[in-house]
Amino acid sequence: MGWGVRTITLVVSGRVSFSNPVRQPLFEFEDCLNGGQPKAEYAAARLNKIHPGIVTQVPTTPHLFPKPNLWRTRCRFLLMDSRDSRWLPTVIGAAKDKIALNAALGFDTFVVMRHGSRGASASTNAETGTLQRHYCNDIVAPTDSLTDRTLDQMCTVTRPGLAPIAATTAVYLLATLTQHPQGSRAPVPPPTRDISQLPSADDDLSLQAYEKEGFTVLLKAFNDQKYFEGPTGLDKLLDEGQLEVLESVDWDEDEDDAAGGDGDNF
């Protein structure tokens, strides 16, 4: 709001939990009681108290995403709890040539990054780099990233202060893009960990498939987490990576065992 944004659409189906108020200043302790109040509705009400001139929108079912308004917004912030939930918005954002900014929290780290629009992602210039539609160069296809995770691997448990720092960084990134002559197609520094071209291939494949088949290809990806792994060669790369890990393991016998001792056998 300090940068002049006057229309904000909140899309979230969750309820306020007891871990939220200390990290998210739009909520109060009372909002957590009785199972928690709807996040979007209460956040919108608090925004209007802070700035009465702000226009807040809270889409509700069964018309959660009215098509005339869905892509009217210039930017969308991805603030979800999992990386797999961020994949689809980045693909659609690239297809619609819209800015997508991702902010994610770890236990004691955070990441803020900009995802590519069609114009930016088409760049292959080594000096400008290439924007991706999914966590930079993670060697992973859209899959379940929440099941069997420990608490320290979920954003629910994070170091105090990281949430506002990450949010502020994301807002400044948006302000920088909107003031750049090329907007969402502004050049980006090359990644320092660009070790593989496969993520780019996965991006191109998913974007082309979405533009051609629409929801049909999305349904395939939702039902089969390995849907994009085969065509991009990601499955082969993962197999090779696992083989390298096994080959790098030190299989030497324990000194105790080598000497004929009765060392513990774990």
Q: Identify the residue whose tokens are 């929440």.
A: 146
Cβ atoms 85, 222 nearer than 8 A = no
In 3-state terms, the chain is what percent helix, strand and coil (to 5)? 40, 10, 50
Cβ atoms 31, 16 nearer than 8 A = yes
Annotated catalytic residue, options 32, 75, 136, 155 = 155
Distances from the Cα of 70 to the Cα of 22, 73, 102, 136, angstroms: 31, 7, 18, 25
Distance between CA atoms of residues 220 and 214, nearest Å:
11
Amino acid at 184: S
Our answer to whether residue 155 is catalytic in this structure is yes
Catalytic residues: 155
